[in-house]
Structure 1
C-alpha cells in the first residue's frame, strides 16, 4: 500500500458516519497516488528541459530559445495548476465530510432556535422558555444527519438594547449576542430562525447578510406556521420578503412549526410530517450535498478521479498548496518577460532572443514543487536526480 492508501485506511477505521466512511473508502484506491505521481513526472519532465538548458546550452544547439522553451513549459504548468487548484478545493470539501459541518442557529429571542435544536437532535439539549434571552452562551451539539456529521450551535437571540420601559439587555446577554454573531460568521451553514408572527429583526438581518456576502450557505426556517391561515398567502409574502432581503434561493426557505413537531403530537395518516420538520431536514441535507459535491474542471470530463479527490487528507492538501506556491513562483519568474515578448502575445519569436530569464530560479521552483508532490506519496527529498538526468538524455542529444 502507498502512503495515501494507508492514511485513508486509518480514517476508514475511525469513521463514525456513513459519509465519513464513504469518503475514506474512496481514498483506499490507488488512483490518488497515481494522479500525484503523474503530476510529479510532468514536473520532472519540465524541469529536465530547463536543466538541459542550464548544463548544455553552451555545447549543444537547441531548436527553441530559452524564452520559447519557458513559454512552452509555462503553458503546461498553467494547466497543471488549474487541476491542482480544483483538487485542493475538493479536499477542502472533503474535510467538511471528515471533520463535520459547522451549523449555527441564528434568530431573535423566542424565535424558536432552542426548540428547533431539540427537534433536530431528538432530545432536550437546550432550555426552552418564553422568557427572552434564556440562551446566553453557545450550546454545541453534534448529530448525524443523513450520514453527515453536523455540529450545531444554538446561540443567544439577537436584539438591540431597548428604549426606556423596554427589556434591558444586560452585560451577560450582550456578550452572548457578540459570541452569537462571531459563531455565525465562522459557520459553514447558517440557519436563520424567523418567527412568522413578527417582523425580521434588523440585527438578525444584518448578520445574515454578512454571512451571505462571506459565502456562507444560509437557510431560513420560518417558524410558528401553525398560526397561519391556510388562505392567508403568508408563505408567499415571507418568501418574497426573504428573497429581497437576503438574496437567497427559494429552495433554501422552509416553513416549520416546532410546536407541532413536538413528541406530544401523534403521527396520523393526515399528519405524516408534523411541523414540516422532515421537509426542513431534506432542505438541510440537500444543502450539505451541494457543499460536499466534487468540483470537476472543464478540462477533464472524467468525474471519477475528482470524486476520489474528496478523500484527500489535510496533510495532502497542505502539500498540494505548497506545490501550488512553488508553481506560482515559477510562473512569476518567467511570465512577466513572456507577456511582452512571446509570439502568443503578438510579437515574433525571433524578437525573444534577447530576453533574460533566470532559468536557474525557474528550475529550482519546479524542483521544489515536485518535491512537495513526492512527500505526498512518501518519497524523500533529493531522490529525483537520476530521473531528471533520464529526461535530459532521453529528450536531448547530449553526452554522445
Structure 2
C-alpha cells in the first residue's frame, strides 16, 4: 500500500553541494521545508516527481590534475553511448580508459578529452541508488567546461538531462534509501571537519551504528505498544495470562531500562557537541597576570597586546585554535580586581570602561567550558616571591566551577622565584581554596618561553598537554556502570556495550533534542503506570499506548525512516504474538 509522508528538516541543518563532496550552507540546501515521497513494498523510497538525469562537477573548480564529473539518473547509459560511441559500457565498478567526444559531431571531431577514466555504477548499488556515471577527466578548466557543456546535448528518450541543484545527489541518496538522516548529517560534518578529533568523531558517524541503535529502540517500543493495543482490542475474546496492570508493569520495567540507556546516550551527545562546536576557554586573572602573554604563546603569534602597564586588555580577544586535535575558542579578557571608592588623585579607582570590561569578562567566564585561572608571582618590597591570589578572581572561578565549568590554574612568572619549595605550598593552598586537583595546577613562565629554545622552556608545553588531558576527560563517553541493569529483552547485548556507546558521541544536537522529547513521553508512560498501580487501579491502556507511540515517533524522526504510527507494523506485532495459526 502506498502512503505519503512529509519530512521537515531541522532548523540549522547543514546541506551539501551538487555533489556529495561539496559542502554548502543551510540556505543553499535543496530539500524544501516539506518534501513528499512515497515508499514501495520493496522498501525503496522514490521521489514523487523526479525522473530527470542530473550531472555536476564533483571536485573543486579550478586547475587540477583530475576533475570528476558525476552523472546520476536513468539516462546514464544513453549519455555514455553518446560521449563514447562504439565503445562497450565499462564493467560495473571498474574503470575503463575512454576518449570523450562531443555528441554533436563536427567535421574535425576533436575529442573533448582523449584520456578519461569512466566508471559505471548500476542501480541500486550506487551512491544515489540510481545508475551513476563518473568521468575522471583531465582537470584543465577548458576540458572540464567542454565536458559539462556536452552532457545536456546528449539526446535521451528516458529522461531530461540537467545540471544538479545544490545537494541533489545527497538528496537522492536519502530518498532512495542509501543514506538516512543521521548519515547525511555525519557526511556533512565530515566534509567540514577541521581538527583530528572532529575527523574521528564524524567519520565514525558516517556508518549506520547510530541508526541501528535508534531502530532497535523504536522496535522495542513498537512491540510494547503492540502488546498494549492487543490487550485493548482482544481482551474480551482472548485469554491473557496477565491482567492489564501486570502487563503494564512488565512493559514499564523494559521502558525504564530503555530510559536509562537513552539518558546515557543524551549525556554522551552533549559531550560530543564539545568536539563538534569547539571547546570555549576563558583566561581569567587579575590585571598584569600574563593572560595576553599566554594567549600569544598558545597562538604562536601576537594576537593580543602585551605591555607592562596593567589593564591593557579591556575587551575580549577571541581566537580559534587547534590544541591537540581539539577545536578551541580561546578568550583573553580584562583583568579582574575589586572596585575602590574613587578619591582625588586615586589612580587605582575603576573607570567606566574597565568596569564594563570586568563585567564582560565575568560573563564570558561563566559561559565557558574551561576556565584557566592565571595567578602571577610577584616580589614584595622585601624581594620575596609571593603568589597574588586575588579574592575577586578566586570568587569568580569558584562560581564558574559551581555552574559546571572545568577549572585549571596557571601559576605564571615562576622566573621571579628562587625557592622551588614554595610551589608545593602554593599548590596545596590552591587545592584547598578551589577544590582543584593538583595535577590541574601548572607553574609556567611566559617570559622564559618567549624566544627560547630547548626542551619546553617555561613549561608552557607541559601546561598545554595537561589542558588536552582536561579536554579528553570532558569528551570521553560516559561508561555504563552495570550492563546487567541495562539488559533489555529484544535489544542485543552489544547495543549497551561501552564500545558502541562511543558512537553516541556523534549524535547531533537535533538527535539530542528528539531524544529528550522521547524521554518526556517515556516518563509520561511510567507516571501513568505508577500512579494507577499505587492507587490499586488499572492503568489507562489507551493513554499508555499513546505515550509509547509518541516516543517511538521521536526515534523515527531522527533517521527519517518510518513512523511509529504505521498501522501495518502494529497489526503485524499483534497478530504475530497473539493470533499465530489463525
The answer to whether the 8 A contact 1:32-1:305 is kept is no
Shift of 1:381: 4.0
Separation (CA, whole Å) in 2 of partners of 1:393 and 1:150:
55
Partner of residue 278, structure 2: 100
Q: State the partner residue of 1:366.
A: 548
Q: Which of the numbers 520, 524, 530 marks the counterpart of 1:325?
A: 520
Task: Name 2:470's counterpart in structure 1.
Answer: 287
What SS class does the counterpart of residue 16 from structure 1 fall into? coil
For 1:128-147, list aligned pairs within 5 A: 128-147=306-325
How many pairs were matched up? 381
Higher-Rg structure is 2
Q: Are 2:508 and 1:313 equivalent residues in the alignment?
A: yes
User: How far off its partner does 1:2 sit?
Assistant: 2.5
Secondary structure of the residue that 2:374 maps to in structure 1? strand
* SS at 1:363 equivalent: helix
Q: Which residue of 1 aligns with 2:183?
A: 5
Q: Does the 8 Å contact 2:282/2:364 carry over to 1?
A: yes
1:394 matches 2:576: yes
1:60/1:398 contact within 8 Å kept: no
- Matched residue, 1:176: 357
Equivalent residue, structure 1, for 2:198 = 20
SS at match of 1:176: helix
Structure 2 distance, partners of 1:243, 1:132, is 27
Secondary structure class of the residue paired with 2:408:
strand
Aligned to 1:242: 430
Give the Cα–Cα distance (whole angstroms) in 1 for the partners of residues 581 and 497 of structure 2: 41
Give the TM-score normalised by the residue count of structure 1: 0.92
CA distance in 1, matches of 2:438, 2:421: 15
Residue 389 of structure 2 corresponds to residue 207 of structure 1: no
Q: Using the alignment, how far apart are the partners of 1:178 and 1:399 within structure 2?
A: 74
SS class of match (1:278): helix
| Aligned-partner Cα distance in 2 for 1:320–1:94 | 15
Structure 2 partner of 1:55: 233
For 1:91 and 1:81, how far apart are their aligned partners in 2? 15
Q: Answer yes or no: is 1:303 the counterpart of 2:498.
A: yes
Alpha-carbon distance in structure 2 between the residues aligned to 1:222 and 1:196? 7
What SS does the corresponding residue of 1:141 show, helix, strand or coil? strand
* Partner Cα distance (1:160, 1:88) in 2: 40
- Separation in 1 of the partners of 2:181 and 2:400? 38
Q: What's the CA shift for 1:60? A: 2.2
Note the C-alpha offset of 1:185: 0.8
- For structure 1, the residue ranges without an aligned partner over 5 or more in a row are 342-351
Report if the CA contact (8 A) 2:317-2:331 is conserved.
Answer: yes
For 2:523 and 2:247, locate their aligned partners in 1 and report how far apart those are by CA, in whole Å.
Answer: 17
What's the offset of the Cα at 1:316?
1.3
Deviation of residue 44 (structure 1)?
A: 0.4
2:218 to 26, 40, 62: 40
Query: In the TM superposition, what whole-angstrom CA distance separates every residue of 1:329-351 from its partner, at most 9, and x where no partner exists?
Result: 1111111233x37xxxxxxxxxx
CA distance in 1, matches of 2:564, 2:430: 58
SS in 1 for 2:318: strand
Q: Distance in 2 between matches of 1:234 and 1:384?
A: 71
Aligned mates of 1:245, 1:27 — CA distance in 2: 42
The 1-side partners of 2:309 and 2:240 are apart by 82
Q: 1:233 aligns with which of 421, 445, 448?
A: 421
- Which of 228, 246, 249 is 1:68 aligned to? 246
Q: Which runs of 4+ in 1 moved over 6 A?
A: none
Q: Is the partner of 1:196 in helix, strand or coil?
A: strand
State the partner residue of 1:223: 412
Q: Give the CA deviation at 1:103.
A: 0.5
Report if the CA contact (8 A) 1:223-1:256 is conserved.
yes
Cα distance in structure 2, aligned partners of 1:199 and 1:146:
30
Q: Within 2, Cα distance between the matches of 1:399 and 1:202?
A: 78
For 2:286 and 2:509, locate their aligned partners in 1 and report how far apart those are by CA, in whole Å. 37
- Is contact 2:180–2:561 with CA below 8 Å preserved after alignment? no
Task: Measure how far apart 1:387 and its partner are.
Answer: 1.2
Q: Is the 8 A contact 2:556 2:564 kept in 1?
A: no
> Paired residue for 1:260, among 439, 448, 451?
448
Residues 197-231 of structure 1: CA distance to partner in whole angstroms, max 9, x if unpaired? 243111101111111212211000000011121x4
Q: Does residue 467 of structure 2 align to residue 278 of structure 1?
A: no
For the residues of structure 2 that align with 1:222 and 1:102, how far apart are their CA atoms? Answer: 21
The residue aligned with 2:12 is none
Q: Deviations over 1:157-180 (max 9, x none)?
A: 000123543512101111111111
Deviations 1:243-289 (A, max 9, x none): 110001111100000111112x2x14xxx111101100011000000
* Matched-pair contact (CA < 8 Å) for 2:279–2:326: yes
Query: If the length of structure 2 is used for normalisation, what is the TM-score?
Result: 0.64
Write out aligned runs for 1:371-386 (5 A): 371-381=553-563, 383-386=565-568
Give the Cα–Cα distance (whole angstroms) in 2 for the partners of residues 327 and 276 of structure 1. Answer: 51
